[in-house]
């Protein structure tokens, strides 16, 4: 095993880059060092250099053009927390340069950019991993571990989503405030599918014996952004994005997945996860798991004197001690880093793959299948819910089940 520190470049220096860099500051110098940074906006570069200086860290080389950073021989791998419209092209260039690319989450604007990503990963020396931190969330990994051990029986249906009131982040009295605001102004579909869908795709072994076949999407009326825009006096009030976009994905092995995108109505945050099999269910919003034979089933008597049965939720925490994923058994006493520690785990998984030049646990075929939901759901909404078939980005390789672990970071075994 290679033990050199991974020399990292960071392309895109917005708020997400700042939280990734804050997490990386907890890593040892033997794990990684940031040798180069890049942003098209000079003020972002200057802000990041200020953070390096304040933390007494060696200053990285700076670039305005990602292609110049990618040509730097002192960069082994790159993190790409740029805005959605630039992720995929930069990742494709990174692979052409033979680098490992850690791409931030988001959806694709077209299937063509996903094909380019896949073909570049297949043709050149690099690899692409989506930094989908939610795949390393404690509950997501707990349930993955329990599913692999058969506690849920055969999985039949899942749901997931991104339900997060962020209207305040996207609109103010001057109009749309950021790229994400413009995306929601102009587009209608599931623009942010992977926080929920990534862990579910891993549980269902998508691209490893299973695949997404087709998606049908519907959008509700759009009121939330307008309501918020009027409240703050924004000159922009008419958003294309429906308040709740609901998609249903059918999988080759028969499972269905319901996916919800809702970011403009007031509600507590949820990734809306549900994993349901022939023997049990996890429901994130109930904070509960029910497993036949482990959880309680009460027998009660109705008014006519007949028995009926009530299944009772167990709190998720009840399963931690015995069924925490091995990664969390190791990590649970000291979970440092952004998003409750998920950022630490996903970055370590990426660094491990980049250092050893092994296949990443969330690979280019996963990126393509998960991000395709955005482009396909937009087309489906526009066509009144017509099912849109997923391309097979693996060119048939999905029929083979993965056997054996690549590394301890593997999510597929």
Ligand X SMILES: NC(=O)c1ccc[n+]([C@@H]2O[C@H](COP(=O)([O-])OP(=O)(O)OC[C@H]3O[C@@H](n4cnc5c(N)ncnc54)[C@H](O)[C@@H]3O)[C@@H](O)[C@H]2O)c1
Residues 126-155 that bind ligand X (CB under 6 A): 133
Q: Which of 31, 39, 378, 392 binds ligand X (CB under 6 A)?
A: 39
The answer to whether 360 touches 128, Cβ cutoff 8 Å, is: yes
Sequence-distant (≥ 6) Cβ neighbours of residue 372 within 8 angstroms: 108, 111, 114, 212, 390, 391, 393
Integer Cα distance of 239 and 224 in angstroms: 9
Name the residue whose CB lies closest to ligand X: 14
Provide the minimum distance between the beta carbon of 156 and ligand X in the complex, in angstroms, as a whole number.
29
Residues 174-203 that bind ligand X (CB under 6 A): 178-179
Shorter beta-carbon distance to ligand X: residue 132 or 392: 132
- Residues 69-102 as b or e (16 or more Cβ within 10 Å = b): bbebeebbbbbbbbbbebbbebbbbbbbbebbbb
Shorter beta-carbon distance to ligand X: residue 185 or 291: 185
Integer Cα distance of 165 and 96 in angstroms: 38
Q: Which of 7, 16, 187, 274 binds ligand X (CB under 6 A)?
A: 16
φ/ψ bin of 227: left (φ > 0), alpha (ψ from -120 to 50), beta (otherwise): alpha
Stretch touching ligand X by CB under 6 A, among 12-20, 228-236, 303-311, 396-404: 12-20
Shorter beta-carbon distance to ligand X: residue 86 or 220: 86
Shorter beta-carbon distance to ligand X: residue 106 or 277: 106
By CB under 6 A, how many residues form the interface with ligand X? 26
Strand partners, 160: 259
Provide the minimum distance between the beta carbon of 184 and ligand X in the complex, in angstroms, as a whole number.
12
Q: Which of 6, 13, 117, 273 binds ligand X (CB under 6 A)?
A: 13
Q: Which of 30, 41, 174, 267 binds ligand X (CB under 6 A)?
A: 41
Integer Cα distance of 163 and 141 in angstroms: 20
| C-alpha dihedral sign at 381, 383, 384, 386 | negative
Provide the minimum distance between the beta carbon of 82 and ligand X in the complex, in angstroms, as a whole number.
4
Provide the minimum distance between the beta carbon of 83 and ligand X in the complex, in angstroms, as a whole number.
4
By CB under 6 A, is residue 14 in contact with ligand X? yes
Residues 304-343 that bind ligand X (CB under 6 A): 339
* Complete DSSP assignment for 139-183: HHHHHHHHHHTTTT-SEEEEEEEEE---HHHHEETTEE-SHHHHH
Residues 54-113 that bind ligand X (CB under 6 A): 66, 81-84, 86, 90, 104-106
Provide the minimum distance between the beta carbon of 12 and ligand X in the complex, in angstroms, as a whole number.
3
Q: Provide the pairing of β-strand 61-63 with 32-38.
A: parallel
The footprint of ligand X (CB under 6 A) covers 11-17, 38-41, 44, 66, 81-84, 86, 90, 104-106, 133, 178-179, 339
């Amino acid at each position: 095993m290679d033990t050199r520190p991974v020399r990292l470049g960071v392309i895109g220096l917005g708020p997400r880059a700042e939280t990734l860099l804050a997490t990386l500051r907890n890593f040892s110098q033997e794990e990684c060092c940031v040798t180069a940074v890049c942003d098209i906006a000079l003020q972002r570069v200057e802000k990041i250099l200020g953070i390096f200086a304040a933390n007494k860290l060696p200053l990285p080389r700076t670039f305005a053009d990602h292609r110049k950073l990618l040509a730097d021989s002192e960069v082994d791998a790159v993190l790409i927390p740029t805005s959605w419209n630039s992720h995929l092209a930069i990742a494709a260039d990174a692979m052409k340069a033979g680098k490992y690319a850690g791409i931030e989450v988001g959806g694709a604007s077209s299937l063509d950019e996903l094909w380019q990503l896949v073909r570049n990963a297949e043709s050149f020396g690099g690899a692409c991993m989506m930094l989908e931190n939610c795949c390393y969330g404690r509950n997501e990994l707990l349930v993955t571990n329990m599913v692999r051990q058969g506690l849920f029986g055969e999985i039949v249906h899942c749901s997931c989503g991104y339900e997060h009131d962020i209207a305040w982040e996207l609109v103010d009295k001057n109009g749309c405030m950021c790229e994400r605001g413009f995306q929601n102004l102009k587009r209608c579909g599931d623009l942010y599918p992977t926080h929920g869908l990534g862990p579910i795709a891993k549980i269902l072994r998508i691209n490893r014996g299973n695949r997404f076949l087709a998606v049908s999407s519907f959008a509700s009326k759009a009121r939330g952004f307008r309501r918020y825009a009027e409240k703050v006096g924004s000159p922009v009030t008419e958003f294309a994005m429906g308040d709740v976009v609901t998609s249903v994905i059918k999988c080759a092995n028969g499972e269905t997945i319901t996916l919800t995108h809702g970011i403009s109505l007031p509600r507590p945050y949820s990734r809306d996860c549900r994993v349901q099999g022939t023997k049990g269910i996890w429901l994130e919003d109930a904070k509960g798991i029910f497993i036949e034979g482990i959880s309680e089933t009460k027998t009660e008597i109705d008014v006519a004197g007949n028995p009926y049965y009530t299944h009772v939720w167990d709190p998720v925490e009840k399963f931690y001690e015995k069924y925490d994923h091995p990664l969390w058994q190791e990590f649970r006493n000291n979970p440092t880093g952004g998003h409750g520690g998920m950022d630490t785990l996903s970055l370590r998984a990426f660094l491990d793959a980049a250092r050893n030049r092994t296949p990443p646990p969330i690979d280019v075929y996963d990126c393509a299948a998960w991000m395709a939901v955005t482009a396909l759901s937009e087309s489906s909404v526009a066509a009144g819910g017509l099912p849109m078939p997923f391309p097979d980005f693996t060119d048939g390789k999905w029929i083979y089940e993965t056997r054996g672990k690549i590394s301890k970071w593997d999510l597929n075994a």
